[in-house]
Structure 1
Amino acid sequence: MSQDLRSGLVELTSRLIQFPSVNPPGYTVNIASFIRDWLGNLGFSSEFREYAKDKPNVIAKVGRGRPVLILNGHMDVVPPGDESRWAYSPFSGKVVEGRIYGRGATDMKGGLAVIMMVFTELAPIIEKRGSGTLILSATADEETGGHPGVEALVRDGVLIGDAAIVAEPSGSHRYYIGEKGLCQVKLVTRGRPAHGSLPILGDNAIMRLVRAIGKAEELINEFNRGIKLPSELMDAIRNSAEVYLEAARASGLNLTLSDFERVVGTVSFNPGVVRGGSKINMVPDYAELELDMRVPPGVSPSQVINYLRSGLSGAADVEVLDTSEPNYTSPNESIARLVHEGIERVLGTTPKPIIVTGATDGRYFRARGIPTVVYGPGELAMAHAYNEYVTVDDLFRTHDVMVYVVRRFFGIEG
């Protein structure tokens, strides 16, 4: 990687951070226009695809025919929070001692800059050789579900290919092959109101909810004992547990490897929001809990919901809030093997495939049957944090690996 490319990648990452594409509201007009102009100045045409007002997606394609490789990154970022807690302005893109600071530096303006650079470097070769099609997609709304972003683009056939790389932060020495699914439900209990001084005349919905929460936790623990995980993912689950354990120990938490193996390989249980009652001297007749659960590969959210409904019958109603299926790409798929090989050959280290507990836009590609790997600069622990940064070295390393992978994918020597 030449010095000009290196400085260009740092400058591009910093410039992307300077667009405050905060979600909500998640407007991407300004940053999308910058990307379109940046590509245009280098001789590449691109188009806007907009499914929600002021949230355009940018799509650029080169080459023809198959195979088709998609390089994807999202443009939106989470809010910066209390700006007084930042060492540098959250949208400065300031470069200090080998780090580029700002909201979205890790999640994922750094990854977006990498795939933009890789696209413009290799597109002329792919175009000239006619060895397939390379697609760059800078997309909207990932931080709130990706519905007018990757989900819509895949649904409409705009983003369809033989493989995809999503440049979310994995760190240059790791790659993600899958993610847990989402299962968010509401537990609702109802009672009978009465004066608080005579609670015996009423039926307290909050007390009913407390008992229902305890029962729900027992049911999930029982459900987890019967889970059978896909055998080809066992190494990835252990790898994931090791990564999370390392981060926990760095934070001073006294947890074990088996603790995190359970977190990755079972249905998690997190009561997130409780509501109930309207006045201290009234027996409440209504209470509810918003319950967040993450579901491992091999399990469907519908199985979890049905199990809860059966076990809580008569104790609480179970209402569905949001779900998404767990998903993964086999570590034996060509794109996964290429990324693995790229990290080994370029960085000289043995990488480990990971299953993550959160969700990315990769789930929409996988749902369409597109083998997908998440690989990009930055550490997951930095995402959404104060003083978020991406290191310059990690940008360079992921760039070089990505170039290797894309070249090999299209059979380009050199």
Structure 2
Amino acid sequence: MAQDFTTLIELVRRYSPSGQEQAAVDYLLGRMAELGFTRTYRDEVGNAVGVMGKGPRQIVLLGHIDTVPGEIPVSLTSLTPSPRPPSPSPNGRGGGGPGGGGEGGEGILHGRGSVDAKGSLAAFVDAVAAVGAVEGWQLVVIGAVDEERNSTGARHLAASDAWHPEYAIIGEPNRWERVALGYKGTAWAEVTVTCPQAHTASGQQTAAEAAVTFWLAVKAHAGAFNTGKPRPFDQLLPTLRGIQSGEDGFSQWARLRIGCRLPVEVGPEGWYAVLREQTSEVLKTSEVSINPLGHPVPAWRGERNTPLVRAFLGAIRAAGGKPGFVRKTGTADVNIVAPAWKCPAVVYGPGDSALDHTPREHISLAEYARAVEVLTHVLRRLTG
């Protein structure tokens, strides 16, 4: 049976940058209800939740429904003609293109979120709908809000008593043949260097110069740590994302905004300790304060030898693919929920992650259909 792309196309049509997810959530809840989910609801922070079945055992498929800003006109480029007329979308606006759903011919869907990560979320919905209710199980699809900012949705889920999955599948684009088993952590800090005002002819190190010295010390530490570690996943990857300086007549200051992608071996507190160690380079002439920013997240690395991973390997092979593993240098909601749920987890989804956040974001409908096939196979194997 040809794959129906209604869920994907209609979800992408609803532009939903972080903080503006309501229309997309409304659509997804209605779509899941239409597809026969046992219950659908919006939780306390705005996540879209759909549950198929009433059993005590859970598999949670967690995607995110928000996107980065930057609306891209939704369009469908046909590569091969559809073998039959497209079916209409639920809202009656027609099918086969961005105005509706449709079945049939291969194409490319352009639009913000088509890859990151509505493709994965829609595939979760379509796969669970294909499997249907299974005795003894709840198949739970969640479209989390705010992933691209502070992961408010995932943090709420991790703290909730409602979820105790035996398996977790997190939706991010890694191509339909690949399973991600690692995401780096992240930590941000604002570093402020202050020193007394001095005449420019004094030769005294300025606050701006001291800040540069501090940053170079941070880079040198990371370089030493990374020696002998060829994979970026295992490295400390600091970046200087902002620098400001000024003076008030009595003192001068410089402020750095520093982020770091963290390996498994270095947690956020370990990184902040590294920053504190580097203050010795500038303390002779300046004062240094280090203030953590936002929500630091440790790295996550999943296990390969689990029933969940084996199910994916078998499903990918059954669909004609050659499965592969990947560890990513980014951070995702899996970093937050996997430690809380303490169950086997993977990250899976169709699409090319190189297109994330770009004006060229698009997804192959053929790849999407293959991902739905893989997910359907996985769910049937795990619940069979």
TM range (shorter): 0.7 to 0.9
Q: Report SS of the residue matched to 1:347.
A: coil
Percent identity (aligned): 23
TM-score, scaled relative to structure 1: 0.79
Structure 1 residues 27-36 or 340-349, which shifts more?
340-349
String of CA shifts for 1:321-371, please: whole Å, max 9, x gaps.
Answer: 24211112111122122112211222241x221111111111122111132
How far residue 158 of structure 1 moved from its aligned partner, in angstroms, is 2.9
How far residue 111 of structure 1 moved from its aligned partner, in angstroms, is 1.3
Whole-angstrom CA distance in 2 between matches of 1:284 and 1:391:
57
Q: Which residue of 1 aligns with 2:240?
A: 271
How far residue 203 of structure 1 moved from its aligned partner, in angstroms, is 5.0
Q: Report SS of the residue matched to 1:78.
A: coil
How far residue 114 of structure 1 moved from its aligned partner, in angstroms, is 0.8
Whole-angstrom CA distance in 1 between matches of 2:253 and 2:375:
54
Structure 1 residues 313-322 or 131-140, which shifts more?
313-322
CA contact (8 A) 1:48 1:58 kept: yes
Within 5 A, what are the aligned runs for 1:51-70?
51=45, 56-70=46-60
Q: Which residue of 2 aligns with 1:15?
A: 10
> What root-mean-square deviation, in Å, do the aligned CA atoms of Structure 1 and Structure 2 show?
2.2
Whole-angstrom CA distance in 2 between matches of 1:19 and 1:380:
21
Q: Which residue of 1 aligns with 2:143?
A: 138
CA contact (8 A) 1:70 1:137 kept: yes
Pick aligned residue for 1:71 from 45, 51, 61: 61
Within 5 A, what are the aligned runs for 1:8-407?
8-9=4-5, 11-23=6-18, 26-44=19-37, 45-51=39-45, 56-80=46-70, 90-97=72-79, 98-124=107-133, 126=134, 130-147=135-152, 149-194=153-198, 198-200=200-202, 203-225=205-227, 258=230, 261=231, 263-277=232-246, 285-313=252-280, 315=283, 316-322=288-294, 323-349=296-322, 351-368=323-340, 369-407=342-380
CA contact (8 A) 2:7 2:31 kept: no
CA contact (8 A) 1:15 1:93 kept: no
Q: Report SS of the residue matched to 1:293.
A: strand
Q: Report SS of the residue matched to 2:31.
A: helix
String of CA shifts for 1:13-36, please: whole Å, max 9, x gaps.
Answer: 11111111112xx22221111112
Greater strand share, structure number = 2
Whole-angstrom CA distance in 1 between matches of 2:176 and 2:293:
35
How far residue 225 of structure 1 moved from its aligned partner, in angstroms, is 4.9
How far residue 47 of structure 1 moved from its aligned partner, in angstroms, is 1.2
Greater helix share, structure number = 1
Gaps of 5+ in 2: 80-106
CA contact (8 A) 1:177 1:336 kept: no
Structure 1 residues 106 and 117, CA gap change in structure 2 (3 angstroms): same
Whole-angstrom CA distance in 2 between matches of 1:22 and 1:278:
38
Whole-angstrom CA distance in 1 between matches of 2:251 and 2:117:
45
Whole-angstrom CA distance in 2 between matches of 1:27 and 1:288:
32
CA contact (8 A) 2:36 2:129 kept: no
Q: Which residue of 1 aligns with 2:97?
A: none
Q: Report SS of the residue matched to 2:47.
A: strand
How far residue 284 of structure 1 moved from its aligned partner, in angstroms, is 6.8
Structure 1 residues 284 and 337, CA gap change in structure 2 (3 angstroms): farther
TM-score, scaled relative to structure 2: 0.85
Whole-angstrom CA distance in 2 between matches of 1:283 and 1:343:
66
How far residue 283 of structure 1 moved from its aligned partner, in angstroms, is 9.5
Whole-angstrom CA distance in 1 between matches of 2:250 and 2:221:
28
Structure 1 residues 326 and 299, CA gap change in structure 2 (3 angstroms): same
Structure 1 residues 208-217 or 37-46, which shifts more?
37-46
How many residue pairs match? The answer is: 349
Letter of the aligned partner of 1:37 in structure 2?
Answer: G
Whole-angstrom CA distance in 1 between matches of 2:36 and 2:159:
29
